[in-house]
Structure 1
Amino acid sequence: MESLLNYIRKQIILTKAEEEFLLSKIFLRKYLKGQYVVQQGDICKHECFVLSGCTKMFYLDDDGQEHIILFSIEDWWTSDLGSFITQTPSDFNIQCLENTELAMFSHDIIEELYAEIPKLERFFRQIIERAFVASQKRIVRNFALTAKDRYLYFRKQYPKIEQRIPQYMIASYLGISKEFLSKIKSQLSIE
């Protein structure tokens, strides 16, 4: 839990009593590789902080094709924010790519934390704002950059992820085939 507290301390200052209250409200859960945190169609009940492990958020289309939206590793957040905020069925799946431990905040607990520790509302608002901005920038990159440039950006922005996930998942995230990703990587190794 120290990693979560350190993450929070970078944004806001909590008293010892506030930290203890916060910790008393967190639900810890361990998932095995392959288990789902959220499944498409279910209501996302938790905002999750990754203490260890790796997850992917993806949409499964009507043809059974997986479209990866996001990867999350240690010290990152994961959830279907739209479903969590509105408490409506999720559009996405969140699945563990490794054995994963999450610190989980239910919708009701978040509201209780806002009431008891108002500065946490600002903290969580900032997390949501950053997630929104990152999502918008990713959309622009997907329209504006070539597949090669999207891959180079991915490698630069997320260096700790590439070694932990299969290449076909990176290809899905980039919106290209695994064969095209292999071609891009071969070209880069020559350059």
Structure 2
Amino acid sequence: MINQIQHFLQQNTRLTSAEILDISGSFTTVAIKRNQVLEEEGKVCKHLYFVNKGCLRLYQIDKKGNDITGYFALEDSFITALTSFITQKPSRDFLTANEPAELEVISRQAFIDLTEKYSEFKKLYDKTIEYAFIHAQMRIYSFLGMEGIDKLKWVMEHEPKLLTRISSKAVASYLGMTNSTLSKLKAKL
């Protein structure tokens, strides 16, 4: 029986069945609880996560103690505290479970070994990084000049699942506004 990460690799790469089995065998399946912390500020990130089920949230806490959400990962997506994962310097991010989740986890070293062993897996990583960069850049540039209502419309168009799966407080943090402002904007639509 094929598991979720195997199916994902099958659909998104040209890896052989044997290569997919080798790669997926390097991941460990873990179940985590809502609000469980996977990576935290000040620690070096040593793992990459694939979401089978649930939702993870990557965020920072500003000097005033406010959450600033950078990214949500839903099913069939990879996530990590990327800057720390790449540089191996202490993270500025927290990575937590926004809801109960089932994940596939791989160590940084095992991941690097697999990208060196399988060029198709490295291509998938490169595509994932490129998509994340483009998405972040779109979001930043779009949000810089947007009014709150337009930010909400952007999320409705580009990431509609967030509004049904994620708490208003977390979505507001992602949009760079307060929860009460988000509630008022939702009422206008």
CA contact (8 A) 1:73 1:161 kept: no
1:128, distance to aligned residue in structure 2 (A): 0.8
1:48, distance to aligned residue in structure 2 (A): 1.0
Between the two proteins, the alignment pairs up a number of residues equal to 188
In 2, Cα distance between equivalents of 1:143 and 1:8: 35
Is 1:28–2:42 an aligned residue pair? no
Q: Give SS of 2:4's match.
A: helix
In 2, Cα distance between equivalents of 1:157 and 1:147: 15
Is 1:127–2:142 an aligned residue pair? no
Quote the residue 1:66 is aligned against: 67
Q: Give SS of 1:62's match.
A: coil
Q: Structure 2: give runs of 5+ residues left out of the alignment.
A: none
In 1, Cα distance between equivalents of 2:3 and 2:142: 34
Quote the residue 1:169 is aligned against: 170
1:63, distance to aligned residue in structure 2 (A): 2.4
1:131-170 equivalent positions in 2, closer than 5 A = 131-170=132-171
1:50-89 equivalent positions in 2, closer than 5 A = 50-89=51-90
Q: Structure 1: give runs of 5+ residues left out of the alignment.
A: none
What whole-Å deviation, never above 9, does each CA across 1:162-186 have from its counterpart, x for those lacking one? 1222212111111111121111111
What whole-Å deviation, never above 9, does each CA across 1:89-137 have from its counterpart, x for those lacking one? 1111011111111112211111211232222111111111111111111
CA contact (8 A) 2:32 2:102 kept: yes
- % identical aligned pairs: 28
In 1, Cα distance between equivalents of 2:172 and 2:115: 39
Q: Give SS of 2:63's match.
A: coil
In 1, Cα distance between equivalents of 2:181 and 2:17: 52
What whole-Å deviation, never above 9, does each CA across 1:142-169 have from its counterpart, x for those lacking one? 1132211110111222222212222121
In 1, Cα distance between equivalents of 2:62 and 2:188: 31
Q: Give SS of 1:25's match.
A: coil
Q: CA RMSD in A?
A: 1.4
Quote the residue 2:109 is aligned against: 108
